[in-house]
Amino acid sequence: MKKYQLKRKLLIQVGLVVVPIFLIMIAAVTFSVYRSTVSGFLEAQNDHMTEILESEAQSGLFGTTFFLDYWEQHPDMTELDLPQKDVDAIVEYFNEHTWSEMGEWLKSSSEAYQGYMAYSAYQLIEEVSKLDESKKSYDSLFIIDINPPNEGFIYWERGKDKDGDIHKLGDRLDISLSDYPELEKLLEEPTSEIFFTRMKDFTMKGSQYIGFKPIVIEGKVRAVMGISYNWSQLRNALIGTVWKTFSIGIIGMLAAMVILFMMLYFRAIKPVKIIQEGVCDYIDSKDSSEIAQKLSVIKAKNEFGSLSGNLTELAREIDQYTAENIKLAGERERVAAELDMAQKIQTQQLPGVFPAFPDRTDFDICASMTPAKEVGGDFYDYFLVDEDHLALVMADVSGKGVPAALFMMMSKILINNYTMQGLSPHEVLEVVNDTICRNNTNGMFVTVWLGILEISTGKITAANAGHEYPVIRQPGGSYELFKDRHGFVLGGKLGKKYKEYELTLQKGGTLFLYTDGVPEATDNSENMFGTERLTEVLSRDPDASPDKLIEAVHSAVNEFVGDAPQFDDLTMMAVKLL
């Protein structure tokens, strides 16, 4: 025999499992590091951005709309020279009033006063922003209008001025609020709370991380102050750190894999190869001593060392089992032959030639028995007691197989003998019951329906020892259960008495007898065939001959059961008066 070869090496198979697991673990750790790094950085940036925005907002300029309105109308404003007395007047007023009050006062003041204060306020914003010059890590600090139709109007911006992206007063961003739902929501639900978000191509090209401070005046968001970071640069810096972590993980994984594979080869693969070769040799030679010698070189103090010893012992037991199995095979063939012979003997004991009485034209009879095992416990019988009396027997022995078959043959002979002696049905059952009980050490029993049909009149004298109800049909009618009185089973108790009854089967009528294997036939869903379905099948062709009736019921049971196993014998008999 050709030695068995593995198509895929164990190391490759292990690698295909372990490497993806390691990579997934490294990726998960790397992703976790990235997420925690980003989260920690953004929290720190949020605090820093909040501090800057609050410091700008606390200047008090935005308690009035005057300055924003003026800057929109005069984006090219310049510094004005006022007489000192006018400057002193403005300062005196400013010291005694709030920015909001000053805004209302300026609205009714001269253009010179308005221009002077608007320019001075603008310079104040610049001065406040310079206080943060040493901490200036942002890319842009800005104030813009978000109210249609002036959305995107730049009031002020300060930043790194890369590539000319920093805007001046009067510039306008080409934006649509529908592209920025966070800002659009501010117009519907005004709030002065600072919030943070990511935006693309807002004050500068590319992705930005922006903190917004809404400027709320008189209950409406007039503009927003924002501080922006270049998110792409920030993300790239973080990704660089993460890649270092990932690279270290890969190097560690490779080192672990080398060590793991070396241990796997010397501790597992090599012993397995020896075991494989030993098993292949044993398959060829069937010699347990040869595999024992082959596996003795495995000295590993682990499961493979134990496995080699177990395989050696298994080979010896297989050799022993093979020898015993050869001996048992001959015994099984002998038993099978005996069972086959028993089945033939049992079949020969039941009347099975049809038509049973070819010279009789006053009745027709047919019967069949299909055992659940090689031999069964059901039996039927029919025989002429005299020219005008036909004995009908339908019986079911408890149990299956050879014991039931032997009990069946004994019961059949007893019933036949006592019936032929001229005893009535109830007398036959009583004598047979007592005979069985005296020698029934195994506690077996048999249910029997025994009837004697007077052919000329159709009168049936019958007794029932715990058997199924017969089914009867009179001419022109349908098949119905005849619920007769049941006695106790034969072999159950010594001295039992049985009662008999009479019924008349008219010319053209049919009597159908059966064992419980018919109504109790079960499909895969544990549903039983039942007597109602039995009578319905019989009534489909009520005038059919006995052999056709039995064939129809047998087919209906097989169709109902499907591929479910047969658990009980199927035995039926039908007799029709002509």
Tokens 């998960």 sit on residue = 28
386, 377, 382: which is closest to 411 by C-alpha?
377
| CA neighbor of 367 nearest in space, from 528, 543, 569, 561 | 569
* C-beta contacts of 368-372 below 8 A and 24+ residues apart: 368/550, 368/554, 368/570, 368/571, 368/572, 368/573, 369/569, 369/570, 369/571, 370/554, 370/566, 370/569, 370/570, 370/571, 371/343, 371/346, 371/400, 371/569, 372/400, 372/517, 372/566, 372/567, 372/568, 372/569
Cα within 13 Å of Cα(251), Cβ side: 6
What's the pLDDT tens digit per position in 301-312? 666 666 666 677
Which tens digits make up the pLDDT trace of 400-427? 777 788 888 889 999 999 999 999 999 9
For residue 150, pLDDT beyond 50:
yes
The better pLDDT of the pair 168, 232 is held by 168
Least confident of 152-166, 479-493, 554-568: 152-166
Is residue 556 predicted with pLDDT exceeding 50? yes
Confidence at residue 249, expressed as pLDDT on a 0 to 100 scale: 72
List, for residues 98-110, the tens digit of each pLDDT value: 777 777 888 888 8
What's the mean pLDDT in 529-554?
Answer: 94
Q: How far apart are the C-alpha atoms of 572 and 471, rounded to whole Å? A: 11
What is the pLDDT at residue 376?
65
What is residue 426's predicted lDDT score, i.e. its pLDDT? Answer: 95
pLDDT by residue (tens digit) across 456-466?
999 999 999 99
Over residues 13-71, the pLDDT tens digits come to 666 777 788 778 777 777 776 677 666 666 766 676 677 666 655 555 677 788 888 88
User: Does the pLDDT at position 283 exceed 80?
Assistant: no
Query: Model pTM?
Result: 0.47
Residue 405 or 447, more confident: 447
Residue 257's CB: how many other CB atoms inside 10 A? Answer: 16
Question: Does the structure show a pLDDT above 60 at 232?
Answer: yes
Secondary structure in 3-state letters for 39-99: HHHHHHHHHHHHHHHHHHHCCCHHHCCHHHHHHHHCCCCCCCCCCHHHHHHHHHHHHHCCH
At 223, is the secondary structure helix, strand, or coil?
A: strand
β-bridge pairing 220-230 and 207-217: antiparallel
Write the pLDDT tens digit of every residue in 348-366: 668 878 888 989 999 999 9
pLDDT at 347 over 90: no
Question: Is the pLDDT reported for residue 394 higher than 90?
Answer: yes
Q: Is the pLDDT of residue 328 over 60?
A: yes
| Selected residue with higher pLDDT from 400 and 219 | 219
- Provide the pLDDT for residue 310: 67
Q: What is the mean pLDDT of the chain?
A: 82
Q: Can you tell me the distance from the alpha carbon of 165 to that of 144, in angstroms, rounded to the nearest whole number? A: 15
**Tokens matching residue 412:** 């059949």
CB 461 within 8 A of CB 392: no
As given in the structure block, the two tokens for residue 185 are: 């929501």
Greater model confidence, 578 or 284: 578
| Joined tokens for residue 237 | 């810096």
Residue 478: which pLDDT band, with cuts at 50, 70 and 90?
A: very high
Which amino acid makes up residue 241? T
Q: Which has more confidence, 28 or 394?
A: 394
Residues in the chain, total: 578
In angstroms, the Cα distances linking 472 to 478, 510, 549 are 8, 6, 13
Q: Which domains does the chain have, with CATH numbers?
A: 13-235 (3.30.450.20), 353-577 (3.60.40.10)
Contact predicate 254/102, CB 8 Å: no
- Spatial contact of 110 and 151, defined as CB atoms under 8 Å apart: no
